[in-house]
């Protein structure tokens, strides 16, 4: 994957910037589009902060829910963004045992039924055991608590994706 310097990024036209960073927040290029207008970026931390600010300050509750719902369920076998496939593969979710797959599927179903959106977790660096414990523990949250937690996880995922694209 190509890496760009902050100087390169600050010099990008809007369409190029959105093409490069539009998938950092899963299927929500609006975040990149609006963050571009906050240039110049001092560094990757500033870019990430400005993208998070677009979500926190510029999105309605309905738009935030749409962003959360854009994320695939853990262990999903269907169509996913390339970055999601890579992230889930990195922790072995593509090679789990039948029993583990059934457990994840069951918990995902219970979670989606309770909250109305998929369980979102930044899985990079996690183990299957940690993911399952987190999924079970988060079932005790309220919808508002879980929305907030899901957004925090999305911000972590976005940072991992930015780290893959930007030279530090």
Residues labelled catalytic: 71
Q: Which two tokens mark 130?
A: 């940690």
134 in Cβ contact with 121 (< 8 Å): yes
Cα 127 to Cα 82, 121, 130, distances in angstroms: 20, 12, 5
- Contacts of 159 by beta carbon, 8 Å cutoff, 6+ apart: 48
Q: Which two tokens mark 125?
A: 């660096």
Q: What gap in Å lies between CA 121 and CA 74, rounded to an integer?
A: 8
141 in Cβ contact with 149 (< 8 Å): yes
Measured in residues, the chain has a length of 168
SS3 122: coil
């Amino acid at each position: 994957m190509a890496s760009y310097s902050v100087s390169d990024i600050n010099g990008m036209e809007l369409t190029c910037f959105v093409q490069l960073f539009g998938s950092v927040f899963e299927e929500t290029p609006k975040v990149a589009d609006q963050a571009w207008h906050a240039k110049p970026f001092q560094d990757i931390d500033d870019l990430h902060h400005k993208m998070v600010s677009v979500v926190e300050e510029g999105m309605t509750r309905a738009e935030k829910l749409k962003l959360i719902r854009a994320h695939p369920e853990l262990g999903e076998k269907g169509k996913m963004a390339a970055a999601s496939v890579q992230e889930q593969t990195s922790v072995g979710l593509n090679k789990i045992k039948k029993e583990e797959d059934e457990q994840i599927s069951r918990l995902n179903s219970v979670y989606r039924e309770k909250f109305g959106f998929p369980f979102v977790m930044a899985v990079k660096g996690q183990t299957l055991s940690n993911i399952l414990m987190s999924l079970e523990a988060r079932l005790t949250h309220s919808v508002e608590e879980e929305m907030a937690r899901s957004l925090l996880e999305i911000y972590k995922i976005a940072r991992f994706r930015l780290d893959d694209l930007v030279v530090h």
